[in-house]
Amino acid sequence: MQDSYEVLGVSRNATPNEIKTAFRKLVQQYHPDVNPSSDAEQKFLAILEAYEVLSDPDRRMSFDRSAPGPGPSPGSFNIDDFTHIDDLDDLFAGETLETIFGKRGRGGPAKGRDLRFDIELSLEEVYCGANRHVMAPRTVACPDCGGSGAAPNGRVRPCPVCNGLGQLKNVSARGTSKFVMIDSCTRCRGTGKIIEGECPACAGRGRRSEPRPVTVVIPAGVEDGAVLRLPDEGSEGLLGGPKGDLYLVVRIRPHPVFRREGADLHCELPVSFALAALGGVLRVPTLDGMAEVAVPPGTQTGTILRLAGRGMPDHGVPGRGDLRVTVVLKTPDKLTERQKGLLAGLEDPAGEPARRGWWGT
């Protein structure tokens, strides 16, 4: 997912007015009618998407809680997803701008906004797969007014200034060029309607944010940074439009014992000098209990012992990875006189006393 703050060129503590000012400036700069560069349209859409996120307090809060990273696939945002035409005050453009924004149809059904959150998982949850319940705040129609924004004794009527369009259009000519200025109606603030007697529960907005429990199925073996999409679990649509989607970005907590590399798990395990020298059986912790692995005689520190099939599930592929145990030779630091004598009597193959060191130093 793009970093909306970087797209608009504002700091993370920018005020709503600073965000709006930056948005208006960039829209004028990158609109395809006035910017001939090949990537102007792509940047223009990115600016609209960033403003769609940061201009809504609830959506901005959820974005701030989530580190920028994977999200909805590129190209998933289009002109029809932009819901803040009323914030395009004092901007002018050519006929194309009128066409782009006019095709949405003011007051028509619109898809609800997508939501994005990070979800933190333990390695054990990823190993087995699990169901998690998360509270996802989303924007819903105000139940007190049914989404109209009007109190029980109030009423909603079309704006008499813009005739319910929410926009005012002025056409002007400059030489041989024709320009269309599309302003948000100041009387209704671009909504196309006048509310007489606002609903106190939503302050006339017709929508409010409330948390909702959502059950998430965690597939076994999911990778860190993976994006889980839950269709129709986002915000409710406008005027009967479809709900948005909920995107959950997986973050896996570091494990105190195991390190993951793909489907394989790695860990270090101390091994006594006697076991490493003579060989034997070593008990090894795994994510589903203890296991045993053979230690060959003469095992050196740094040797990797492999337990096939005791790693992570390989998401989407049958079977599991391996558990790779790195041997760390445990040197005793407290010896009895007898133990010291036994060690002093050991000699390496060249006949030199062991007390000179295992690496000949």
Say what the pLDDT of residue 348 is. 53
CA angle 237, 240, 244 (to 5 degrees): 25
Residue at token pair 């369009």: 165
Tell me: pLDDT of 233 over 60: yes
Distance separating alpha carbons of residues 259 and 305, to the nearest angstrom: 15
Tens of pLDDT, residue by residue over 320-358, are 999 999 999 987 778 788 877 777 776 555 545 444 433
Helix (H) or strand (E) holding 93: strand 92-93
Q: 85 falls in which pLDDT band (50, 70, 90)?
A: low
14-28, 78-92, 231-245, 323-337: segment of lowest average pLDDT: 78-92
Q: What is the pTM of this model?
A: 0.53
Higher pLDDT, 287 or 195: 287
271: exposed, middle or buried (Cβ count in 10 Å: 0-12, 13-18, 19+):
buried
Higher pLDDT, 287 or 345: 287
What are the phi and psi torsion angles at 354 (to 5°)? -65, -20
| Residues pairing with 275 in the sheet | none
Q: 311 falls in which pLDDT band (50, 70, 90)?
A: very high
**Mean pLDDT along residues 287-308:** 94
Say what the pLDDT of residue 37 is. 76
**Mean pLDDT along residues 78-101:** 51
Tell me: pLDDT of 292 over 60: yes
Q: 361 falls in which pLDDT band (50, 70, 90)?
A: very low
Rounded to whole angstroms, the maximal C-alpha distance in the chain is 106
Q: Which domains does the chain have, with CATH numbers?
A: 4-252 (1.10.287.110), 259-356 (2.60.260.20)
Tens of pLDDT, residue by residue over 49-72, are 888 889 888 788 878 877 554 444
Tell me: pLDDT of 90 over 60: no
Cα torsion angle, 96, 97, 102, 108, sign: positive
Q: Could you tell me which of 144, 162, 156 has the C-alpha nearest to residue 197? A: 156
Strands 177-184, 280-286: pairing kind? unpaired
Whether the Cβ atoms of residue 112 and residue 136 lie closer than 8 Å to each other = no
Tens of pLDDT, residue by residue over 94-144, are 333 444 444 344 445 667 778 888 889 999 999 999 898 888 777 777 888
Tell me: pLDDT of 316 over 60: yes
Distance separating alpha carbons of residues 86 and 191, to the nearest angstrom: 7
Q: 255 falls in which pLDDT band (50, 70, 90)?
A: very high
